[in-house]
Amino acid sequence: MSGVRCGDDVSDYLRQNPQLAQWVESFRGYCESNKQWSARREFILRNMEAFPTVKPGTSSSSLDKLLSLSMVWANHVFLGCSYPQAVMDKIRKMGEGIAVQDPPVHKTTKDGIMSRGKRSATDEGDADSCVKRAKAAPNELNAAWNMTQKSGPPPQAPAEHQPFFNRLYKAVAWKLVSAGGFGPNLDHFEILRSCVESCKQTLTCVFVPLKDIAGLPAGRTQKDGHVCEIRCQMVYMGTGYGRDESAAKAMASKEALKVFQGRKVTVKICRRRYKGRDVEDLVLLDELPRSQGFPPALSYPFQDEQLEHTSS
């Protein structure tokens, strides 16, 4: 797609190539707004030439990599997610020339910037990772969000997400069977990651220092370590605590996989605590009764979406 310079050119190009347009449209996420999808679609089309083995209508590892990079780029532009420096450099280069109208402005605290600077250097292979290290930071939008009378996912969201998680349930079930069943010695994150990727989606992992979390479960008094929250398609799947980010991610993945031990999984809207207030969140559940509430939410992907609806 050489020579394309703006969104209008992309639309014209797709009108002239209806089969390509239909193929690309199949990669749109359930909850992507028109603006988000238009930008990510342009990212995919612009960079297809850099992946010669990507052919419309054909699955390949190169296509999976391109789609993952497009999600990483979109998450950075629209959600403010941060990644290892090698990944950031790669997606910025791939996104050159793509004009996003009225892009969100994300502010990060000085401490957040410093903590990212302490990460060890990584190579471009990290670009394939499905982990988005979204840092919790004060945001100028919080004040406006406090004024909204209703927040959370739309009522139809569970039904929209359910087909994907039905497919993911089958993928996880087969993966666990081949691994000899659910157990403590499995690489829980790798199993979850590979199953989600096989369904053409990516995981989101949010990390927050344990000392910064309010409302921890009773009995958890230590302040060292990290908390990890795992989501997929904005649906909450599990929370884990550990000495470092890797250990927390492993525990969160284990908790997420436990949900797949029943006969089915269901996406529901549930009440959770986020930054000291009750919010409605999308949660993946099994059929077992719950005697306790959910851990406090580390992220709330419906915040910006609600503000956008409020300001329109």
How is residue 257 written in tokens? 């996989």
Looking at residue 165, its amino acid is F
The pLDDT, as a whole number, for residue 53 is 81
SS3 285: strand
pLDDT at 93: 92
Which letter does DSSP use for residue 75 in this model?
A: I
Question: Which residue segments constitute the domains of the chain, with CATH numbers given?
Answer: 7-124 (no CATH), 146-311 (3.30.160.20)
What does the alpha-carbon distance between residue 213 and residue 210 come to, in Å, rounded to a whole number?
5
In terms of DSSP bridges, do strands 266-274 and 226-232 run parallel, antiparallel, or are they unpaired? unpaired
Q: Look up the pTM and report it.
A: 0.53
Instruction: Please list the ranges in the chain whose pLDDT falls under 50.
Output: 1-6, 108-150, 304-312
Q: Whose CA is closest to 207, among 299, 90, 119, 278? A: 299
What per-residue confidence (pLDDT) applies to 143? 35
The CA distance from 237 to 295, in Å, is 11
pLDDT at 211: 80
How many CA atoms within 13 Å lie on the side-chain side of 308? 17
**Contact status, residue 78 vs residue 36, Cβ threshold 8 Å:** yes
In single-letter form, the type of residue at position 206 comes to: V
Contact call for residues 235 and 30 (beta carbons, < 8 A):
no
Task: Extract the tokens encoding 182.
Answer: 């659910």
Least Cα distance to 208 among 139, 115, 97 occurs for 115
**CB-CB contact of 29 with 202 (8 Å):** no
| Residue 282, phi then psi, degrees to nearest 5 | -85, 125
